Structure 1
């Protein structure tokens, strides 16, 4: 998300970095570029005008501290104003009501409501330790009821059954009664969507809202629809007392205009981002962290949180002990590392949070984010015998052909894998000898890419 905007703003801020002082003249050029970057990102025009005006006003009145350059001051102003535009701070779900807290999900058909109910159910169970019940009040699309039932089983929350011949309000009231009697903390209600806003849709959701008195009414919207997402959010907000927005499919949105416009247009906070298809791919929305990503400064806080939550600590300790004892790094360890990266949301999720990645060319970035390559690497390793994984040096001609055939790959790909593994093995050897600082100092993502100085095989799986 925000790839295009991030690249444009980074270049603009680079140009002003070398200025001796902030003046009307040099700020004017930078603001023109910022305005164009935001418009190209599909940010609403009134929002762009207000944003540029606030940045100009602050930049011309800002005192440059002795330990900061004018460029650094300008970057700080842009960062602060982006954060303010998106809501200043994370807006948590308000569930501190008498249980069960009802969360009503609204939105158009195809926005990702049902999937988001499953993701939110998982998030509440795992992160907030809540007992969650989900129910579908979408009686017009029987497949939605079946889909939610499947998702509920996958994410480990309870599903309350409903039928297409029932009335939505009756379904929701029965689910609420069940939740009260069985000690549930949260009830998530999936509602029917339409292909466009209509009176019947709004009247039905308003009836549900009156019957349930929800603690939260979340509007779920596809971020890739850009300005349409903002206009739809505005229409729903006029009909319902929305408490927040969930932006879905943000991993496929290179512009990010909806995220930058919705708060300003509706006054409602973005509470979550859907960042992928998996049920774990839901992130709380932190404006300050997103602003940092847009400006190419990464999001190390979220990355550390992801690592702490997803990485197998026991496995990591075993790996460290193994290296410390000089037992070496083998292909089974290599496969474990691939799986750990997968747990973190794949390479794309990892790279989006690293500082400076917006300077990597778009084509190279797309290549680095290709998770299919990870699957191929794992398939090749899985096609090896335990002995081959522990002692890769024995993999020669006939073994390579057998592994390639078993994994649906080629001998050339097996050779490339072994070369990548040898390079990583050398890095791990330096790590075991205490050379971590030197190792990190040599880390360069671009060197891992063909044509970027890496010769097609870098020190890692990408």
Structure 2
């Protein structure tokens, strides 16, 4: 027993040092894997953004139906539908929940309204609100997102016509818009309701 205790005292520090090295190696490996996953995620996001910019820049028209199709694609990629929606916690994320609301609103619109947004008036919104269970203000938020993307499409097409480069990231887009002497087309875009103001039917 004494001999065993002596061996334990001799080899225990070496054993502990080995454990420390193993933990360090595992930690480094975990960091490298996390870094690769983050890099891959960023690359996918950049690719997706570039694809959308290219699509908008070469699309003559952009209706609510087109916006609906884009939203469904983004929903599948982002976890609103498909297997990703089964991952715990994903469906409760604010962005995911808003996307679900927007999709429900889109599905409540009649096809002719999605193809011609000019047909959407206060009465149509109230009917859609009753069908999908979303307030009129949320419908306006969805329409505002469509108008903003349509305005971006117009701006991108002008850059193509002027033989200018297209942005590849959101940061590029923001900087190019800021430096563009022609400005960003905001005509026809509904203003965002100030926080705390009374809801207004439109």
TM-score (norm. length: structure 1): 0.25
Q: Aligned with 1:299: secondary structure? A: helix
Q: Distance in 1 between matches of 2:97 and 2:23?
A: 42
1:290 is aligned to 34
**Counterpart pick for 2:94 among 345, 367, 374:** 367
Which one has a larger percent helix, Structure 1 or Structure 2? Answer: 2
Contact 2:59 2:153 in 1 (8 A): no
TM-score (norm. length: structure 2): 0.53
Contact 1:431 1:439 in 2 (8 A): no
Q: CA deviation at 1:408?
A: 1.2
Q: CA deviation at 1:300?
A: 3.7
Q: Distance in 2 between matches of 1:394 and 1:405?
A: 18
1:442 is aligned to 173
Contact 1:430 1:439 in 2 (8 A): no
Q: Aligned with 1:409: secondary structure? A: coil
Structure 1 residues 255-274: Cα deviation after superposition (integer angstroms, max 9, x where no partner): xxxxxxxxxxxxxxxxxxxx
Which one has a larger percent strand, Structure 1 or Structure 2? Answer: 1
Pairs within 5 Å for 1:33-432: 50-51=23-24, 84-86=28-30, 288=32, 290-293=34-37, 299-301=41-43, 303=44, 320=55, 324=58, 326=60, 328-346=61-79, 366-368=93-95, 371-432=96-157
Seen in structure 2, the aligned counterparts of structure 1 residues 345 and 427 have a Cα distance that, compared at 3 Å, is same
Unaligned runs of 5+ in 2: 1-18, 81-92, 176-191, 194-202
Q: Aligned with 1:436: secondary structure? A: coil
Q: CA deviation at 1:432?
A: 2.8
Contact 1:380 1:407 in 2 (8 A): yes
Identify which of structures 1 and 2 has the higher relative contact order when contacts are C-alpha pairs closer than 8 Å and 6+ apart: 2
Seen in structure 2, the aligned counterparts of structure 1 residues 372 and 290 have a Cα distance that, compared at 3 Å, is same
Unaligned runs of 5+ in 1: 1-45, 55-80, 87-286, 308-312, 348-365, 445-454, 457-462
Q: Distance in 2 between matches of 1:406 and 1:390?
A: 19
Q: Distance in 1 between matches of 2:120 and 2:167?
A: 33
Structure 1 residues 295-341: Cα deviation after superposition (integer angstroms, max 9, x where no partner): xx56345x27x96xxxxx9xx8xx94x86362x21111111112112
